[in-house]
Amino acid sequence: MKKILLSVRKKAAIAVTFILVFAFSLLFLFPTVFTITNSFMSESEISANYGAVFATGDAGGKTYISEKVNLKLIPDMVTFQQYYTVLFKSPDYLLKFWNAVILVVPIVVFQVIVACLASYGFARYRGKGREFLFFAYIVLMFMPYQVTLVPNYLVSDFLGILETRWAVILPGIFSPFAVFLLTKSMRRIPESIIEAARLDGAGEWQICTKICIPSCRSSLFSVVILIFIDYWNMVEQFLVLLTDREKMPLSVFLSEINTGEISLAFCVAVIYMIPTLLLFLYGEEYLVEGISSSGGLKD
């Protein structure tokens, strides 16, 4: 009897858990699916469904067909008109896409390089104040970007790189998050391996590049993915440090959706998420492994 009760409870728990998980997963998935499906709707349909949301006082007294928002997942008529408009008739979007690539790729690359070297130092240095130094470096990670925005602006102005892409790239290169992740990962490397390498005559550089960094590959991939995602979606730095609209990435324009082309916004969002998605798919297991290793979890 007890056994039967236990199995029922177990099953019920499993079911409830499943339902909850399913519900939450739906909730998480819904915006993405919604975005993708709505990108295949025509402009008139989108305007009819969502126009009232973006109505402003300058609409000239017009009233939309639907006064309330009508969330639709299945288009009345599937059309690629918006994709055509975005990809073939709107070069601005494509230029903004490449602006984002030009800004984010250097940040990722240089941040990884700096993080590797810094984390090696933090992992191997046994001197005094190591922890304090590490803490001081990491505490910045907890600060919101707005706290460091003004100093960044002033320093950029001082260096004369304001209004240039370097004003965004340079602060990004020295982000502490990557250092934190990689340091944790490197500290898990057994000392004996390092000693053995030293005994074999390897120098610090060789130990770093040939032993430590390959060992932290998973953490490295996770760092790359997380940094890419972070900066690919960034908006504030570009708005503050870059005033030239021509240098703005696409994330800035996606944040300015208005009564203009809502349908184009869906289409742009779909295209904008593709690089992130591909990167994630490519390094998915590394990401999981990296985060878990940095959290100290053992496989």
Q: Which stretch binds another protein (CB under 8 A): 15-23, 84-92, 129-137, 183-191?
A: 84-92
- Given 77, 141, 278, 288, the residue binding another protein (CB under 8 A): 278
Q: Does 265 bind another protein (CB under 8 A)?
A: yes
* Rounded least distance, CB 296 to another protein, Å: 25
**Which position among 17, 44, 148, 258 is part of the footprint of another protein (CB under 8 A)?**
258
Report phi then psi at 18, rounded to 5.
Answer: -60, -45
Map residues 129-168 to x or -, x wherever contact with another protein holds by CB under 8 A.
----------------------------------------
31 binds another protein (CB under 8 A): no
CA distance 238 to 18: 41
Evaluate whether 79 touches 42 at the Cβ level (below 8 Å).
yes
Using CB under 8 A as the binding rule, whether residue 97 contacts another protein is answered as yes
Residue 196 three-state SS: helix
254 binds another protein (CB under 8 A): yes
Cβ atoms 37, 75 nearer than 8 A: yes
Instruction: Supply the minimum distance, in Å, between the C-beta of residue 19 and another protein.
Output: 31
User: Which candidate, 251, 254, 247, places its Cα nearest to that of 162?
Assistant: 247
Nearer CB in complex with another protein: 67/256: 256
* Minimum distance from residue 262 beta carbon to another protein (Å): 9
Q: Which residues contact 267 (CB under 8 A, 6 or more apart)?
A: 39, 82, 83, 85, 86
Other residues' Cβ atoms within 10 Å of the Cβ of residue 24 = 10
Please calculate the CA angle 116-120-121 and round it to the nearest 5 degrees: 120
Assess 247 for contact with another protein (CB under 8 A): no
Which tokens sit at 1?
Answer: 């009897």
Inter-residue contact 264 to 86 (CB < 8 Å): yes
Minimal distance in Å, beta carbon 66 to another protein? 20
Taking the least distance from each CB to another protein, the nearer of 113 and 278 is: 278
User: Which parts of this chain interact with another protein (CB under 8 A)?
Assistant: 60, 86-98, 253-254, 256-261, 264-265, 268, 274-275, 278-279, 281-282, 285
